[in-house]
Chain A
Amino acid sequence: MTASVKTLVNQPYKYGFVTDIEVDTIPRGLSEDVIRMISAKKKEPEFMLEFRLKAYKQWQKMTEPDWPHVHYPAIDYQDISYYTAPKEQEKKKSLDEVDPTLLETFEKLGIPLSEQKRLSNVAVDAVFDSVSVATTFREQLAKDGVIFCSISEALIDYPELVQKYLGSVVPVGDNFFSALNSAVFSDGSFVYIPKGTKCPMELSTYFRINTEGAGQFERTLIIAEEGSSVSYLEGCTAPMFDTNQLHAAVVELVALDDADIKYSTVQNWYAGDENGKGGIYNFVTKRGLCAGKNSKISWTQVETGSAITWKYPSCVLVGDNSVGEFYSVALTNNMQQADTGTKMVHVGKNTRSTIISKGISAGRSQNSYRGLVKMGPKAKGARNYSQCDSMLIGSDAEANTFPYIQVQNHTAKVEHEASTSKIGEDQLFYFAQRGISMEDAVSMMISGFCKDVFNQLPMEFAVEADRLLSLKLEGSVG
């Protein structure tokens, strides 16, 4: 961009406060004893401890992958606290018993949990550091047979369901970070939609990292039985610290015959300051299994935070005629790095997938799309369409695309398109001519660029995401 374009002031990260609350935390470090301690603290059934120990053994044998296009100093896995929970009295019966400080924190984040102020049509599970503190609308959902609770509660109340599906989509030894997560995960959300049920409201989990030096390892498991459907949202924020924090989550989705899961993420972890100090390392494994015929899994993500984002929400399309979708906006500014994309693995007949990825890189950031489209030998008539567009703002930003296309079936059809462009001086001039300020012009162009993805988000969140992007980009045009 030329000097004629004025520099605007950067908008501070408004979720960067720390809640002062007494926490129950275990010493830093990782060993078998730590895992036993976590398991004991959560009063888990025996099979869970075995699951964790198996994962830990595998993790010890694995090495951290080095292929992504991101750079960070080596992580000391012994310098992370693997369990941090707000200290609290006995199991809370209702929201009134939840520590008011916590309620206040979530209120401040724009997630009201108290009865009067709840969002009328969204059930929220709020996760604070390592544990779930509150889940709203549980009773109402239970009337329809929908189970929505934290995964620790599910382990106690519905162990057979968890045992059946946990690790079925992302096996314990799938990769370095999923193995670590399987060994130490502390909480997360559990969703079960019974046969033929359309979930009556949006389900949502809000993740908050609060304690310095703690890692967050949450685990989400969503099961949609035959003919059911659900829309699930997740949001995340963290306070500003000078040190980096590790967030290694695993999300597993299972869609049986004719089921439909829509999973949306608005990720706004603390991204570090403009010199790249601090911020969250967001190393996440997300995978959905379309196990049944005519099932559908759709991922929508808006990635704006984190110092490093490294995730590939994937769909394994096993059931015939199943559908996988991936819509993504990844925005990086300052020193942020993102290596994100998707994997569409077509196994069954007539499976279809769509990938729309929009990358925006500003400042000195790096933004890479990396995606795999694999057509297995039995994926007769499978179809994929991918489009990834990148937009560069400023001459120090970097945009990369690495699409992997592997086709082993001649009746499959794969199309991939990618382009890179910038916000042109002439486009800005055109807007200026029409009396539109530069800042508005840029934000209009960005929201036009991202429209295909925002259209997929639930209504309130689309507005939110649009606003988030323009906030994040303020000051980068200059």
Chain B
Amino acid sequence: MTISTIEVTPSDLKKGRGNVERQAYLKTLISQRAEFGAEVPAWVKEVRDRNLTLIQDQALPSNRTEEWRFTDPSSLYKIPFQPAAATVTAEQIQAHSWPDVAIRLVFVNGVFAPGLSHQTEVSGLQITTLQNLDDSFQAYLGKTHGSEEVFTALNGCNFKDAAVLKVDRNQVIETPIHLLFVSAAQGETPTVAYPRVLVVAETGSTVTLVEDFVSIGAQTFTNAVAEIFLAANAQVNHIRLQREEATAFHIGKTAVSQKRDSRYRSIALSLGGQLSRHNPEIVTEEQTETILDGLTLATDSQVADTHSALTFSQAHCQAQQLHKCIVDDHARAVFNGRIFVPKAAQQTNAAQLSRNLLLSPKARVDTKPQLEIVADDVKCAHGATVSQLEDDEVFYLQSRGLDHDNACDLLVKAFAAEILEKISIPSIRKGLLEDVLSRLR
């Protein structure tokens, strides 16, 4: 497959605003993609080529695109990101590992690093990468809904490697699996990485997954895609952590496909990045359960965006979503939660709540919970709140002998803890609670 190129001058990149510039920037990124070696099956190459055709003539979004209205991505286009290799030491990885998680797969700039990973054999669980990938995955890779979205397709076109997990029928995997994606920039080179995850949970299986994004170095751009397939009655607990450096760019997609009676619950944390965006997209079949929890923490001049979309395609589904944002300094948080209940999805019971805490006069929140309902026999509710810490509550704690700062800290901690407490792995729960508090100080 050939890639047509447009001449891009550095001054074009600086502007990063017009349609032509955004198209050119995308073309540059595409032109940098590395070809696969012979050990990668031919059908994986076809998946990439299919995505290439999808975005060949598209342009990256600007803040005039409705979906990006509140999150201006133009600062991303001003930096000439390119793929690069980087060396990451075991010590650097150690700093980001969790003691009670036995299986750890490390990917540096989207490529598997066996030397840094730690695996134990677990029966019923297959862990592989793209090399010599089984043909049985052909039915899954790149097959989730919404893959035509431009950043998803960009990953689909450029990914170099992937973490591939499969849980066999009726297997309950007790050990959580830690997928650590390190985006590392060596020296001053702005580096882009395209991490990709594919999870297949067979009928009746259970697995817990920790998808973890960190970055090293000044300028990194992570464009991640995770595809998760739940077969009938499967259960996936998904913890997604985005704790990159404050200078990083992160755009991630989690595409989930739920078959009947399956149960997906996710806790997504967005802590780092100067510009970060997470798009969870879930499509469910009959009688499924979906629980989405999210916590966004934005300080300094961070912009953190969560755009979730939940579509019920059949009847009797349950869903609960709670998204919380804590915004300090002159940071900005964006939440857009779409719940779509078509006519077929009778007896749906869905609730969505967006709660936002503003800690400084310059902080800003844009939230848009969104219900689209065609079925008549459903129960759907959503709510949104935005406020600062309640004076009464602070006063109450002060009357109990806490000073003002401690009282505020305690209240913020409690606000965050509602989400963090739901994490089932003790070391992660504890570690993150401390991390969140230290970021706010």
Which one of A219-227, A330-338, A390-398 contacts B? Answer: A390-398
Question: Bound complex: CA of A412 vs CA of B386, how far in Å?
Answer: 8
Interface residues of A in 357-402 (CB under 8 A from B): 375, 377, 390, 392-402
Interface residues of A in 268-307 (CB under 8 A from B): none
* Closest CB in chain B relative to A365 CB, distance in Å: 11
Is B155 an interface residue, CB under 8 A from the partner? no
Closest to A414 in B: B386
- Is A408 within 8 A of B364, CB to CB? yes
- Is A420 within 8 A of B360, CB to CB? no
Closest to A423 in B: B376
- Is B382 within 8 A of A395, CB to CB? no
Interface residues of A in 232-266 (CB under 8 A from B): none
- Is B373 within 8 A of A400, CB to CB? yes
Closest to B364 in A: A408
* Closest CB in chain B relative to A218 CB, distance in Å: 31
Q: Which residues of the partner chain B approach A419 to less than 8 Å between Cβ atoms?
A: 380-381
Contact with B along A411-428 (1 / 0, CB 8 A): 111111111111000000
Is A436 an interface residue, CB under 8 A from the partner? no
Assuming the A-B contacts A405-B386, A413-B386, A419-B380, are A398 and B373 also in contact, with contact meaning beta carbons closer than 8 angstroms in the complex? Answer: yes
- Is B371 within 8 A of A395, CB to CB? no
Q: Which residues of the partner chain A approach B368 to less than 8 Å between Cβ atoms?
A: 402-405
Is A47 an interface residue, CB under 8 A from the partner? no
- Is B356 within 8 A of A407, CB to CB? yes
Set B66, B356, B369: member contacting A418, Cβ < 8 A: B369
Question: Bound complex: CA of A1 vs CA of B346, how far in Å?
Answer: 12
- Is A390 within 8 A of B366, CB to CB? no
- Is A415 within 8 A of B343, CB to CB? no
- Is B386 within 8 A of A420, CB to CB? no
Q: Which residues of the partner chain A approach B384 to less than 8 Å between Cβ atoms?
A: 403, 405, 414-416
Set B361, B367, B374, B383: member contacting A417, Cβ < 8 A: B383
- Is A403 within 8 A of B376, CB to CB? no
- Is B366 within 8 A of A406, CB to CB? yes
Is B2 an interface residue, CB under 8 A from the partner? no
Is A67 an interface residue, CB under 8 A from the partner? yes
Closest to A1 in B: B376
Question: Bound complex: CA of A421 vs CA of B378, how far in Å?
Answer: 7
Question: Bound complex: CA of A416 vs CA of B335, how far in Å?
Answer: 14
- Is A405 within 8 A of B372, CB to CB? no
Is B358 an interface residue, CB under 8 A from the partner? yes
- Is B371 within 8 A of A405, CB to CB? no
Closest to A413 in B: B387
Q: Which residues of the partner chain A approach B377 to less than 8 Å between Cβ atoms?
A: 395, 422
Question: Bound complex: CA of A5 vs CA of B376, how far in Å?
Answer: 15
Is B171 an interface residue, CB under 8 A from the partner? no
Set B364, B379, B383: member contacting A407, Cβ < 8 A: B364
Closest to A366 in B: B374
Interface residues of B in 365-423 (CB under 8 A from A): 365-388
Question: Bound complex: CA of A398 vs CA of B346, how far in Å?
Answer: 13
* Closest CB in chain B relative to A405 CB, distance in Å: 5
- Is A411 within 8 A of B388, CB to CB? yes
Question: Bound complex: CA of A290 vs CA of B371, how far in Å?
Answer: 31
Question: Bound complex: CA of A411 vs CA of B66, how far in Å?
Answer: 28
- Is A401 within 8 A of B361, CB to CB? no
- Is A398 within 8 A of B379, CB to CB? no
Is A409 an interface residue, CB under 8 A from the partner? yes
Is A92 an interface residue, CB under 8 A from the partner? no
Q: Which residues of the partner chain A approach B365 to less than 8 Å between Cβ atoms?
A: 405-407
* Closest CB in chain A relative to B43 CB, distance in Å: 39
Question: Bound complex: CA of A173 vs CA of B372, how far in Å?
Answer: 31
Closest to B358 in A: A410
- Is B386 within 8 A of A407, CB to CB? yes
Question: Bound complex: CA of A408 vs CA of B365, how far in Å?
Answer: 7
Is B359 an interface residue, CB under 8 A from the partner? yes
* Closest CB in chain A relative to B440 CB, distance in Å: 14
Is B363 an interface residue, CB under 8 A from the partner? yes
Contact with A along B236-272 (1 / 0, CB 8 A): 0000000000000000000000000000000000000
- Is A393 within 8 A of B376, CB to CB? yes
- Is A416 within 8 A of B366, CB to CB? no
- Is A390 within 8 A of B373, CB to CB? yes
- Is A400 within 8 A of B372, CB to CB? yes
Question: Bound complex: CA of A414 vs CA of B357, how far in Å?
Answer: 11
Question: Bound complex: CA of A396 vs CA of B359, how far in Å?
Answer: 44
Contact with B along A194-230 (1 / 0, CB 8 A): 0000000000000000000000000000000000000
* Closest CB in chain B relative to A422 CB, distance in Å: 5
- Is A416 within 8 A of B370, CB to CB? no
* Closest CB in chain B relative to A253 CB, distance in Å: 27
Closest to B383 in A: A417
Question: Bound complex: CA of A375 vs CA of B366, how far in Å?
Answer: 10
Question: Bound complex: CA of A411 vs CA of B357, how far in Å?
Answer: 10
Q: Which residues of the partner chain A approach B70 to less than 8 Å between Cβ atoms?
A: 406
Q: Which residues of the partner chain B approach A392 to less than 8 Å between Cβ atoms?
A: 373, 375-376, 378
Determine which residue in A395, A402, A407, A421 has the highest number of CB atoms from chain B within 10 A of its CB, and name it: A407
- Is B373 within 8 A of A416, CB to CB? no
Q: Which residues of the partner chain A approach B364 to less than 8 Å between Cβ atoms?
A: 406-408
Q: Which residues of the partner chain A approach B386 to less than 8 Å between Cβ atoms?
A: 375, 405, 407, 412-414
Determine which residue in A403, A410, A418 has the highest number of CB atoms from chain B within 10 A of its CB, and name it: A410
- Is B343 within 8 A of A396, CB to CB? yes
Q: Which residues of the partner chain A approach B373 to less than 8 Å between Cβ atoms?
A: 390, 392, 398-400, 420
Q: Which residues of the partner chain A approach B356 to less than 8 Å between Cβ atoms?
A: 407
* Closest CB in chain B relative to A344 CB, distance in Å: 13
Q: Which residues of the partner chain A approach B382 to less than 8 Å between Cβ atoms?
A: 401, 416-418
- Is B380 within 8 A of A420, CB to CB? yes
Q: Which residues of the partner chain A approach B381 to less than 8 Å between Cβ atoms?
A: 417-420
Contact with A along B320-360 (1 / 0, CB 8 A): 00000000000000000000000100100000000010111
Set A397, A401, A404: member contacting B376, Cβ < 8 A: A397
Closest to A411 in B: B388
Assuming the A-B contacts A418-B371, A420-B373, are A410 and B385 also in contact, with contact meaning beta carbons closer than 8 angstroms in the complex? Answer: no
* Closest CB in chain B relative to A212 CB, distance in Å: 34
* Closest CB in chain A relative to B313 CB, distance in Å: 16
Closest to B344 in A: A395
Closest to B70 in A: A406
- Is A420 within 8 A of B378, CB to CB? yes
Closest to A420 in B: B380
- Is A404 within 8 A of B366, CB to CB? yes
- Is B361 within 8 A of A409, CB to CB? yes
Closest to B69 in A: A404
* Closest CB in chain A relative to B112 CB, distance in Å: 42
- Is B372 within 8 A of A398, CB to CB? yes
Question: Bound complex: CA of A393 vs CA of B360, how far in Å?
Answer: 45
Question: Closest 7 A-B residue pairs measured CB to CB?
Answer: A410-B358, A392-B376, A416-B384, A414-B386, A419-B381, A420-B380, A413-B387
Known: A402-B368, A414-B386. 17 other contacts (CB 8 A): A67-B66, A393-B376, A395-B343, A398-B374, A400-B370, A400-B373, A405-B366, A407-B386, A409-B358, A409-B361, A410-B361, A412-B386, A413-B388, A414-B384, A416-B383, A416-B384, A417-B383
**Could you give 8 example pairs across A and B, Cβ below 8 Å?**
A395-B346, A396-B374, A410-B360, A413-B385, A415-B384, A417-B382, A420-B373, A422-B378
